[in-house]
Amino acid sequence: METLEEKVVLGSGAYRYEPVADWVKVPEGWTLGEVPSVAIDDQDRVYVFNRGARPLMVFDRDGNFLDSWGEELFTRPHGLHIGPDQAIYCTDEGTHTVSKCTLDGKLLLRLGTPDQPAPRMSNRPFNRCTHTALAPNGDIYVSDGYGNAAIHKFSPDGKFLFSWGTAGSDPGEFNLPHKIACDDDGWVYVVDRENHRIQVFDGNGRYETQWNNLHRPNGMYMVGRKDPLFFIGELPPHLSHNRDYPNLGPRISILSDGKLVGRLNSNGGPGNDAGQFTSPHGVAVDSRGDIYVGQVTTTTWPLLFPGQQAPEKPNMIQKLRRIPG
């Protein structure tokens, strides 16, 4: 007698999701590289920033391919953010720049000089910048995390205003500022990844508070700009003595005002199947509440599974369909 395979459900309560297998439909002969960031526009089109030959790929919510661009702009994509004006801000750690573009790829503004990084740990823009956020008045915040430990603020037309932060673990200090967001009240939320926290600042860089009890928070997506909900991708442990520890990820945690309201643990632990995560690096949520998770599986796999053959087709992006109720 044939048996039905049990449906995989991640999360619980008001936050329950069903993995959608083989969601994305990449054109034949094309390859989707690692996906460090994902963004959603006001028509629920999905922008996939990836480290393949075509850095910016666009899909509809059913995974059908719509467009691609960015070959002349990016060498190592990292952060992606769509502003209220539907301009897309693309943070490229490879060229040390942030490019503000139209949704079809026309360059509107570029912060930083391509291939001319600031000195490492100089706290001047940029050295391997990571992500971008917009203040209510259009000011631009950029997290600068791989070669710096700083946040930089610019006017809407790209004039440099000031920076804050330095390396360390005290309030206002950073150990790899990785993603950033800003709400309608002007609060600035910074994923301080290797300090296992999210720090909250006012628009002038004054430290306000921090959210703890996270494990290497990596991706961050803010839903709503007033009293927002945060979807946080967390990396798993990868050291030889703790990579098999439970309850540390990879996972997605859902926070409201810093309090945990939902959590999606990887189904059966780290892996490459639908509902299994390796590295939730980029997270985005569409208008129906479905979650899109970008991963850097090629980089993460040998850390999680040393000596094991990597998948022939690594799962670089997943869709999780929200279950009503």
Q: List pLDDT tens digits, range 301-313.
A: 999 999 999 999 9
CA distances 261 to 118, 264, 266, Å, are 40, 11, 17
175: exposed, middle or buried (Cβ count in 10 Å: 0-12, 13-18, 19+):
middle
Residue 247 lies in a domain: yes
Residue 312 lies in a domain: yes
In a domain, 88, yes or no: no
Contact of 266 with 313, CB cutoff 8 Å? no
Rounded Cα–Cα distance for residues 256 and 88 (Å)? 26
- d(CA 134, CA 126) in angstroms, rounded, equals 17
Instruction: Look at residue 245 and tell me if it is in a domain.
Output: yes
Q: Is residue 48 part of a domain?
A: no
| 98, burial (CB in 10 Å: exposed 0-12, middle 13-18, buried 19+) | buried
Q: What pLDDT score was predicted for residue 62? A: 97
Is residue 188 included in any domain, yes or no? no
**pTM for this structure?**
0.96
The overall average pLDDT reported for the chain is 95
DSSP code of residue 195? G
Domain count along the chain: 1
In a domain, 93, yes or no: no
The residues facing 248 across adjacent strands are none
Non-local CB neighbours of 246 within 8 Å, separated by 6+ positions:
none
pLDDT value of residue 5: 53
Predicted local distance difference test score (pLDDT) of residue 93? 97
Name residue, tokens 């002038």. 204
Please identify every stretch of the chain with a pLDDT value under 50, giving residue numbers as ranges.
1-4
Nearest alpha carbon to residue 138 among 87, 202, 179, 96: 87
Range of the domain at 248: 1-30+238-325
Residue 278 CB contacts under 8 Å (≥ 6 apart), including other chains:
236, 250, 270, 271, 272, 295, 296, 297, 300, 301, 304, 315
- CB of 218 within 8 A of CB of 201? no
Q: Which two tokens stand for residue 290?
A: 């479905």
Task: Tell me if 299 is assigned to some domain.
Answer: yes
